[in-house]
Structure 1
Amino acid sequence: MGAFETATARRSILKGFGALAVGAGLPAKAAWGQKLLANPGVELHPQVHCPPPSAWSDLARALKGALVMPDDPFFGDYYRPNNLRFIKRPGGIARCSSADDVAACLNWAKTTNTPFAVRSGGHNYAGYSNTEGLLIDMSPMAGILEVDEKSGTVKIAGGTINSLVYKALERLGRTITHGRCDGVGAAGFLLGGGIGFNMRLYGIGSDLLHKTDLVLADGNTITASDGDDLLWACQGGGGGNFGINTSFTLQTFKVSTVTVFELSWSKDLDTVLYNLLHRLQEAPNGFGCKISVSVPARDANCFANAGMTVSVLGQAHFGQAAVEKLFGDLWQAADKKKVEADMAYWSAQDVLSEATFPYYYREKSTFMNTSTLTKDTVAALMDSARGMPRTSMGSAFKFFQVGGAVNNKKPGQTAFVHRGYDWLFSSEVNWWAPKDPDSLVNEALAWQESFYALALARTKAVGAYQNFPDPSLKDWQQDYYGDNYAKLRAVKTKVDPKSLFSYAQGIKPV
Structure 2
Amino acid sequence: MLQNVVPSRRNFLVGLGKFAAVAPLVPSLPWAATALAATPRDACPPPSAWKDLAAQVSGGVLTPLDPFFGDVCRPNNLRYGTLPMGIARCLKTEDVQAAIRWVKQQGLPFRVRSGGHNYAGYSATNGLLIDMSLMAGVEVLDKKNGIVRVKGGTINSLVYKELERLGRTITHGRCDAVGAAGFLLGGGIGFNMRRYGVASDLLRSTSLVTADGERHEADDKQDSGLYWACRGGAGGNFGINTDFTLQTFPVDTVSVCQLTWTKDQAGVVYDLLQRLPAAPDSFGSKINITLPSIQQRCQGVGSNVSILAQLHKTKGTSLKQIFGPLWERADKRTVHEDIPYWVAQDFLSEETFPYYYQEKSSYMHSARITRAAVDAMFEAAKAMPGTSMPVAFKFFQTGGVINDVKPDATAYVHRGYDWLFSVEMNWWQTSDPQGLIDENLAWQKDFYALANKTCSAIGAYQNFPDPTLDDWAGAYYGANYTRLREVKKQVDPDSFFNYGQGIKPI
Match of 1:411, SS state, is coil
Report matched runs for 1:194-233 at 5 Å. Answer: 194-227=188-221, 228-233=224-229
Tell me which residue corresponds to 2:365: 369
Output the CA distance in 2 between the equivalents of 1:137 and 1:129.
10
Deviations 1:77-107 (A, max 9, x none): 1000000000011111111000000000000
Deviations 1:225-246 (A, max 9, x none): 1250100000000000000000
Tell me which residue corresponds to 1:448: 444
Output the CA distance in 2 between the equivalents of 1:110 and 1:273.
52
Output the CA distance in 2 between the equivalents of 1:139 and 1:418.
29
Contiguous gaps of at least 5 residues in structure 1 = 1-37
> Structure 1 residues 328-337 or 400-409, which shifts more?
328-337
Amino acid at match of 1:106: I
Tell me which residue corresponds to 2:505: 509
Q: 1:400 to 1:39 in 2, by over 3 A?
A: farther
Match of 1:155, SS state, is strand
How far off its partner does 1:282 sit?
A: 1.2
Q: 1:93 to 1:196 in 2, by over 3 A?
A: same
Is the 8 Å Cα contact of residues 39 and 126 (structure 2) preserved in structure 1? Answer: no
TM-score (norm 2): 0.91
How far off its partner does 1:41 sit?
A: 7.3
How far off its partner does 1:318 sit?
A: 2.9
Tell me which residue corresponds to 1:4: none
Report matched runs for 1:17-416 at 5 Å. Answer: 47=40, 49-227=43-221, 228-301=224-297, 306-318=301-313, 322-416=318-412
Output the CA distance in 1 between the equivalents of 2:195 and 2:343.
19
Output the CA distance in 1 between the equivalents of 2:214 and 2:58.
18
Amino acid at match of 1:313: L
Output the CA distance in 2 between the equivalents of 1:87 and 1:473.
21
Output the CA distance in 1 between the equivalents of 2:37 and 2:56.
33
TM-score (norm 1): 0.90
Highest CA radius of gyration, 1 or 2? 2
How far off its partner does 1:432 sit?
A: 0.6
Match of 1:110, SS state, is helix
Is the 8 Å Cα contact of residues 396 and 428 (structure 1) preserved in structure 2? Answer: yes
The alignment covers a number of residue pairs equal to: 472
Output the CA distance in 2 between the equivalents of 1:480 and 1:365.
10
Equivalent pairs: percent with the same residue?
A: 58
Is the 8 Å Cα contact of residues 32 and 83 (structure 2) preserved in structure 1? Answer: no
Deviations 1:155-179 (A, max 9, x none): 1100000011001101111000001
How far off its partner does 1:46 sit?
A: 6.4
Amino acid at match of 1:316: L
Q: 1:59 to 1:212 in 2, by over 3 A?
A: same
Match of 1:299, SS state, is helix
Deviations 1:256-299 (A, max 9, x none): 01001000111111111111111111110000000011100110
Greater relative CO, 1 or 2 (CA 8 Å, sep 6+)? 1
Contiguous gaps of at least 5 residues in structure 2 = 1-30
Q: 1:39 to 1:335 in 2, by over 3 A?
A: farther
> Structure 1 residues 363-372 or 38-47, which shifts more?
38-47
Is the 8 Å Cα contact of residues 118 and 135 (structure 1) preserved in structure 2? Answer: yes
> Structure 1 residues 315-324 or 378-387, which shifts more?
315-324
Amino acid at match of 1:114: L
Is the 8 Å Cα contact of residues 411 and 480 (structure 2) preserved in structure 1? Answer: yes
Is the 8 Å Cα contact of residues 257 and 345 (structure 1) preserved in structure 2? Answer: yes
Q: 1:444 to 1:413 in 2, by over 3 A?
A: same
Match of 1:238, SS state, is coil
Output the CA distance in 2 between the equivalents of 1:390 and 1:505.
29
Is the 8 Å Cα contact of residues 32 and 82 (structure 2) preserved in structure 1? Answer: no
Counterpart pick for 2:475 among 474, 479, 483: 479
Q: 1:79 to 1:217 in 2, by over 3 A?
A: same
Q: 1:455 to 1:43 in 2, by over 3 A?
A: farther
Deviations 1:424-483 (A, max 9, x none): 000001011100011111000000111111111111111000000000001101000001
Is the 8 Å Cα contact of residues 39 and 83 (structure 2) preserved in structure 1? Answer: no
Output the CA distance in 1 between the equivalents of 2:218 and 2:402.
22
Amino acid at match of 1:86: Y
Is the 8 Å Cα contact of residues 49 and 113 (structure 1) preserved in structure 2? Answer: no
Q: 1:43 to 1:365 in 2, by over 3 A?
A: farther
Is the 8 Å Cα contact of residues 40 and 86 (structure 1) preserved in structure 2? Answer: no
How far off its partner does 1:149 sit?
A: 1.7
Is the 8 Å Cα contact of residues 217 and 496 (structure 1) preserved in structure 2? Answer: yes
Output the CA distance in 2 between the equivalents of 1:44 and 1:349.
43
Output the CA distance in 2 between the equivalents of 1:149 and 1:164.
18
Output the CA distance in 2 between the equivalents of 1:202 and 1:145.
21
Output the CA distance in 2 between the equivalents of 1:436 and 1:422.
36
Amino acid at match of 1:98: K
Q: Is 2:433 the partner of 1:437? A: yes
Match of 2:318, SS state, is helix
> Structure 1 residues 266-275 or 313-322, which shifts more?
313-322
Is the 8 Å Cα contact of residues 118 and 136 (structure 1) preserved in structure 2? Answer: yes
Deviations 1:291-344 (A, max 9, x none): 0111001100576x6111011012111379711011111111111110111010
Output the CA distance in 2 between the equivalents of 1:477 and 1:280.
30
